[in-house]
A and B are shown apart, each in its own frame.
Chain A
Amino acid sequence: MAEHKKEIDQVTGIETTGHEWDGLKELNNPLPKWWLYMFYGSIVWSVIYWILMPSWPLVNGYTKGLLDYSQRAVATENFDKAAAERAEIGTMLLEASLEEIRDTPALLEFAMAQGEVAFGDNCAPCHGTGATGFEGYPNLQDDSWIWGGDLDTLSTTISYGVRAEHDETRYAEMPAFGRDELLEKEEIIQVANYVGSVAGLPTQEGVDLEAGKVIYEENCAACHMENAKGDLETGSPNLTAPTYLYGKSVEDIIAQVNAPRHGVMPAWIDRLGETTVKSLAVYVHSLGGGQ
């Protein structure tokens, strides 16, 4: 091995490292020792870290580390902690009436926040993220309700659902006037046109609306009432409202009278619990259509 001769750079007076690239030589300006020790220290630290913490991926799983640390466990712990922190206001919510929640700013703010999240998770798939509904799924923003839009009614509807598998569920079924041959085809056309005229829709030409009115009074008024404004008690929709659940034209009405479609809303009380249902009722009420 050739002996390395010390070479001093003429310009700076500093020793070179002996490395040369295309005539360029590197000066040996030594790094501070402590810097080197910090580098060694970080290597030592990384080994300690491997031993203590989860680190190396294996074919099946990974090395767990002596401290048994898991981000998932920490997340669960934080979740439980947050739930415990919410327990106090949750109890207040449980004890307060819906009106009290609405009128107490602190409870209202909490219920609105909880209700919004619960709505997004559970209600939005059918009623839409903006609660404006879709065909067959009621719009919760407007002031037209099938079962009623005051706080207690909303709470009942959310708790037990509509035509759901719960003993206390809301239930209403309109007869299939056409399919079950309760009315003749001509009569269905007449009554549908009459309902259309009440709702302010364009009616079909040459239809006897007076005959339709008679049929309405005999067959429909019991539930939808004489003035066609519906009945919240029996869940009979308002036929004069600007929103129709299954389409707003005389043809749609004919289809509905012939063989009505009936939506189902699940009962949420067992799944979400009373506190969340209360928050949801307050939230839905606050959207603006609440009565």
Chain B
Amino acid sequence: MSSQVEPIDKEEDEAWFASAAKVYPMEVKGRFRKIKWAILFITLGIYYFTPFIRWDRGPLLSDQAVLVDFERKRGYFFFLEIWPQEVYYLAGLLIIASVALFLMNAIAGRLWCGYLCPQTVWTDLFFRVESMIEGDRRKRITLDKQPWNAEKILKKGTKHFLWLMIAWWTGGAWVLYFADAPTLVYDLATGQAAFSAYVWIGILTFTTYSLAGHMREQVCVYMCPWPRIQAALTDEHALNVTYRYDRGEPRGHLKESKKRIADGLPAGDCIDCNQCFYACPTGVDIRKGAQLDCIQCGLCIDACDSIMTKVGKPTGLIAYDTDDNIERRERGEASVYRLIRPRTVVYTAIIALIAGVMLYAQLNRSMTDLSVVHDRNPLYVQQSDGSFRNGYSLRLLNKHNNEQSFTLSVEDMPKGATLEVVGIHKNADDVTKDTQLSLSVDADTTRSVRALVFSPAGVEMPSSLPMSFKLVDTETGETTVISDFFRAPGK
């Protein structure tokens, strides 16, 4: 029997898995490198220093501008204060973020991946540290090949030490978003901080060190879902880092090209110097066209432009362009750049709409609120005078920074109906039944009370009477009306 499935020996087994070829990106200078440096400094600056920004919210609340306070169940973002029931703001922010990602993709491909993604920013920083210690591409390749000697140990040791320091600082900044930053820094330094703070710093140190130092482009190629998703979202008008093969091909070394031109043969501008490939942080040859591994950071554009300038040819052999335009130029037509297209307009509209809704909700955010839950069991109770009583659980919200007093009343009940709130009365002995009661709620908290509503004696009640509770802030006059029902056996 001749089987087509061969038994695999050990050597073959190795072939199922491949070590990632280490990428040694070359340092480049140019426009996109400058942009990337600027973004790196801005984004890391925001990340590391935001917890130290102060924002005055009065004596009771935290003065940290950006803080997620799990203990007191509050989120703070400058002028915003978010209670747990307002987490939909977070949902709104996430929707805006994802649609912004789509919009970026529709305008110029993987702008997020190339410039803004934390993986890219931290990897870029780690590359910079690496080349500062070990030198540029060629020196690093040589160093990796040479046997372990004092120089190699010193260089590698210094690099890993610096990487760990950056990673540790990254983890340290992370925990500052969840507690008062200056206090926590002091506590961490003196060993008094919560155990979980150290654990989180440890986790973030490990992930930063391994993802930015060791995993690098593997994260983008194998772990991240976005390259797959964005490939499905792109269209022929989205700008991408593109090798303009219409101008570059046929490629050849400078001398070869000159010879071909002398012979009257066609010769492209690409001199096959491989600088674009050497500069690439993910090890991509952009001349093979758009590919999943390419994060479109633009560094190959810088590498190519500097070579083109040296050989006296126009820059922009690699540039933000579209395949559509290359085909147009090959047909002798002019390039077209369409920034305003249905999808960019729709994405922008969605972002504007959600941002508008959130802004409206924020501007009209109520400072007080009331929730009412009618007793389920029993729905009503008959009193000995024949009248009926309904019980309700009320929760009063006070988002003000000071104790606030309210009047609570029932509306739309027959004349003579009374209200009682357990624990609220005018004098010590007497339980107060009234049509309107005063009660207060402490600063920045909720108060739950039990309210009892009594129908007047001798009045025939329907089985279900729509009524409402009205809560009025006596200071600001802010009024909340919550509808409910008064139940009775009916006829």
Residues of A bordering B, CB below 8 Å: 1-2, 4, 15, 18-20, 28, 30-36, 99, 102-105, 108-109, 112, 128-132, 139, 141-144, 238, 241-243, 285-290
> Of the 9-residue stretches B58-66, B122-130, B444-452, B465-473, which lies at the interface with chain A?
B444-452
The answer to whether the Cβ of B298 comes within 8 Å of any Cβ in the partner chain is: no
Task: Give the residue name and chain of the B residue nearest to A3 (CB).
Answer: B6
| B-side interface residues, number (CB < 8 Å) | 38
Q: How many angstroms between the C-alpha atoms of A242 and B380 in the bound complex?
A: 14
> Of the 9-residue stretches B12-20, B165-173, B313-321, which lies at the interface with chain A?
B12-20
- Chain A proximity of B96: nearest CB distance (Å): 34
Most buried by B among A108, A132, A139: A108
Contact of B4 among A15, A18, A241 (CB under 8 A): A18
Residue pair B218, A34 in contact (C-beta under 8 Å): yes
17 contacts between A and B (CB under 8 A): A2-B6, A4-B6, A4-B12, A20-B5, A28-B16, A30-B17, A32-B20, A34-B215, A103-B425, A129-B377, A130-B378, A132-B377, A144-B384, A242-B386, A286-B423, A287-B391, A288-B389
B113-150 vs A: 1/0 string, CB under 8 Å? Answer: 00000000000000000000000000000000000000
The answer to whether the Cβ of B381 comes within 8 Å of any Cβ in the partner chain is: yes
Residue pair A143, B383 in contact (C-beta under 8 Å): yes
Residue pair A20, B4 in contact (C-beta under 8 Å): yes
The answer to whether the Cβ of B43 comes within 8 Å of any Cβ in the partner chain is: no
Residue pair A19, B5 in contact (C-beta under 8 Å): yes
Q: Which DSSP category, helix, strand, loop or mixed, fits chain A's interface?
A: loop
Residue pair B428, A99 in contact (C-beta under 8 Å): yes
Q: How many angstroms between the C-alpha atoms of A34 and B217 in the bound complex?
A: 13
Task: Give the residue name and chain of the A residue nearest to B382 (CB).
Answer: A242
In the complex, chain A residues whose CB is within 8 Å of the CB of B450? 112, 286
Residue pair B4, A142 in contact (C-beta under 8 Å): no
Q: How many angstroms between the C-alpha atoms of A20 and B7 in the bound complex?
A: 13
Residue pair A241, B18 in contact (C-beta under 8 Å): no
The answer to whether the Cβ of B186 comes within 8 Å of any Cβ in the partner chain is: no
B19-38 vs A: 1/0 string, CB under 8 Å? Answer: 11000000000000000000
In the complex, chain A residues whose CB is within 8 Å of the CB of B200? none
Residue pair A141, B378 in contact (C-beta under 8 Å): yes
- Chain A proximity of B393: nearest CB distance (Å): 9
Residue pair A31, B5 in contact (C-beta under 8 Å): no
Known contacts A31-B18, A108-B422, A288-B391; is A1 also within 8 Å of B7 by CB? Answer: yes
Additional A-B contact list (19), CB under 8 Å, known A32-B19, A286-B423, A290-B431: A1-B7, A2-B2, A4-B6, A19-B4, A30-B18, A31-B16, A32-B18, A32-B20, A34-B20, A35-B222, A105-B449, A108-B422, A108-B423, A132-B378, A142-B383, A143-B384, A242-B386, A288-B381, A288-B391
In the complex, chain A residues whose CB is within 8 Å of the CB of B378? 130-132, 141
In the complex, chain B residues whose CB is within 8 Å of the CB of A288? 381, 389, 391, 420, 452
In the complex, chain B residues whose CB is within 8 Å of the CB of A287? 391
Residue pair A142, B382 in contact (C-beta under 8 Å): yes
In the complex, chain B residues whose CB is within 8 Å of the CB of A142? 381-384
In the complex, chain A residues whose CB is within 8 Å of the CB of B6? 2, 4, 18
In the complex, chain B residues whose CB is within 8 Å of the CB of A99? 428
Task: Give the residue name and chain of the B residue nearest to A144 (CB).
Answer: B384
- Chain A proximity of B301: nearest CB distance (Å): 28
B379-405 vs A: 1/0 string, CB under 8 Å? Answer: 001111010010100000000000000
Contact of B19 among A28, A33, A141, A290 (CB under 8 A): A33
- Chain A proximity of B257: nearest CB distance (Å): 27
Closest 3 CB pairs of A and B: A130-B377, A30-B18, A286-B422
Q: How many angstroms between the C-alpha atoms of A99 and B384 in the bound complex?
A: 24
In the complex, chain A residues whose CB is within 8 Å of the CB of B428? 99, 103
Residue pair B382, A33 in contact (C-beta under 8 Å): no
- Chain B proximity of A96: nearest CB distance (Å): 13
